[in-house]
A and B are shown apart, each in its own frame.
Chain A
């Protein structure tokens, strides 16, 4: 069990600063997901927590103890790598028990711990195999088993599911969620997949180009994104963004329609602003009297949902998602309305206006 504090951490490679002003407090037993596009620095941050990368500036503490200079082996953490990093020359049991072997643990104790982890993960029949004789999913389980046997203060995951196929990924995601519920250990999980982030996290940290964009629960990020980047990164399909200008008691779209605010009026709208609306929050209306009118371009029938790409007159392409099956054909004219309580407004820098 561990509480972690990241205080004003920066990372530089020579003169190039790739990460700055990282402040984050991770509570004991919390499941934190670091998410962001590739190159945003999320893996680097995780590796600094693990002690695999030196921290250029700032302080990292576990349970109040400064860790910057502590070697990985003494931080009492376990890590699951994207490549799994199983030792190719050791069988499954030895892979899982390696950390205890290094510590010179009692052989019997090691065996029982390995056996228990193997049983939980359904690996009992495979303990004598070498990693090369395992499937991708099995390797992933062994990597998790190795972390479990380590019995660390905290678990670190570096994109652990990205090498698995879609079905297995869902299954292993559940497995990780169960593991967290059972062990109640602190976990830090890196992914670029927002679905993994939303389903697993107690709190999500969204990173972009070396900066923390927002920290919050999945629902907070979905409902109150701090800026346009977070708004577009979280949620699928991606949020629509339209240029707007301020109007009396509301805003004006590029096609001339004005939408009034109700009930709350946000802070003053700057001359250059943008409106964000999620595809699932757009409403279909009769073309007469709708705030926007357009032609359905492509219609995707997913069964549970229908995705419609609409070419809106005077505005451009928008995406719309409706629950259930919508009997719509391409080139059909439809009207769209924007519910005022579902709107997100951003200033010219992309910061949310509240």
Chain B
């Protein structure tokens, strides 16, 4: 290949990597900058001294550990419940033909298109009437419902990849449908279950607006709500905010590495999921 073109290509790649990583790099950079250097070296590419003080103070002197735990509880529960429900629904879509199927699929697709914010007020009223405001379980229920359509399509695509012959063979070998599921289909769909778990976790971990609406007590704040409250209250303690941000990034990155192989399937099967 033409050397000028090759150079251009590598420059373009470097440009993309730089653009993608820069904000995250900056987050990390400010987080490890000692307080007294933030303003003097605020715009330098790397601080002259490094410290983990900000992390230590975030963990010991603020409520971030509690926010973090709340978020973890909400995201993990949402991911687990959603994946179970979506696996059952995806299995039905993949293996059965029945009359209501096109209608149910259409409704699920529509729920991915209309502005979710449209239902934020009614949901608030319903949750308030049930006395579930400021509870993590209300968030889990709402997030589970939001993620079911997408997770169902994702699980369906995984089930579609497992030949129907296999469970028919198992049923002839003496399994009930449930036994065939447990002994043959389930072990084969473990990667799919894992990927769905990862996608839903990532989505639940970053949800902000509904959490903001439904949670106002400090004890039950999830990470995004807590961080935003912190930002508006102590908007000058940059180091701590960024340290908290870096910590919020960690679970996302871990799950991202975990689901990377399934990104294409995940992004195309829901077709609309961010």
Contacts and interface: CB of A to CB of B under 8 A. Distances in A.
Asked if chains A and B are in direct contact (CB within 8 A), the reply is yes
Interface stretch (B46-54, B166-174, B199-207, B266-274): B166-174
Interface in A38-89: 50-52, 71-73, 75, 77-79, 81-83, 85, 87-89
Contact of A72 (B171, B183, B188): B171
A50 B172 contact: yes
B26 to A, nearest CB: 46
Contact of A73 (B163, B166, B175, B187): B175
Interface in B163-202: 163, 165-166, 168-176, 179, 183-184, 187-188
Contact of A102 (B163, B168, B175, B188): B175
Contacts of B183: 98, 102
Nearest to A98: B173
B173 A83 contact: no
A321 interface: no
Given A83-B163, A89-B188, A77 B172 contact: yes
Contacts of A88: 166, 188
Contacts of A81: 165, 168-169
A141 interface: no
Given A88-B188, A98-B170, A83 B165 contact: yes
B168 A52 contact: yes
Contacts of A99: 173-174
Most buried by B among A78, A98, A150: A98
Interface residues of A, number: 23
B169 A79 contact: yes
A182 interface: no
B185 to A, nearest CB: 10
B163 A85 contact: yes
A150 B170 CA distance: 11
Contacts of B187: 89
B203 to A, nearest CB: 30
B169 A73 contact: no
Contacts, number: 61
Nearest to A81: B165
Interface string A24-44: 000000000000000000000
B131 to A, nearest CB: 47
A85 B168 contact: yes
A72 B163 contact: no
Nearest to B171: A72
B171 A73 contact: yes
B184 A73 contact: no
A87 B168 contact: no
Interface string B84-113: 000000000000000000000000000000
Contacts of B172: 50-52, 72-73, 75, 77-79, 150
Contacts of A78: 172-173
Most buried by A among B168, B169, B172, B188: B172
A185 to B, nearest CB: 15
B171 A71 contact: yes
Contacts of A98: 170, 173, 183
Contacts of B184: 87
Interface in B103-137: none
Nearest to A73: B174
Nearest to A88: B188
A150 B173 contact: yes
Given A85-B166, A87-B166, A89-B187, A52 B171 contact: yes
Contacts of A228: none
B193 to A, nearest CB: 14
A89 B186 CA distance: 11
Contacts of A103: 174
Contacts of B165: 81-83, 85
B188 to A, nearest CB: 6
A203 interface: no
Given A75-B172, A77-B172, A81-B169, 10 more contacts: A50-B168, A51-B171, A71-B176, A79-B172, A82-B165, A85-B165, A85-B168, A102-B174, A146-B169, A150-B174
Interface of B: 163, 165-166, 168-176, 179, 183-184, 187-188
13 contacts: A51-B172, A52-B168, A71-B176, A72-B171, A73-B174, A73-B176, A77-B172, A79-B169, A81-B165, A88-B188, A89-B187, A102-B183, A150-B172
Interface of A: 50-52, 71-73, 75, 77-79, 81-83, 85, 87-89, 98-99, 102-103, 146, 150
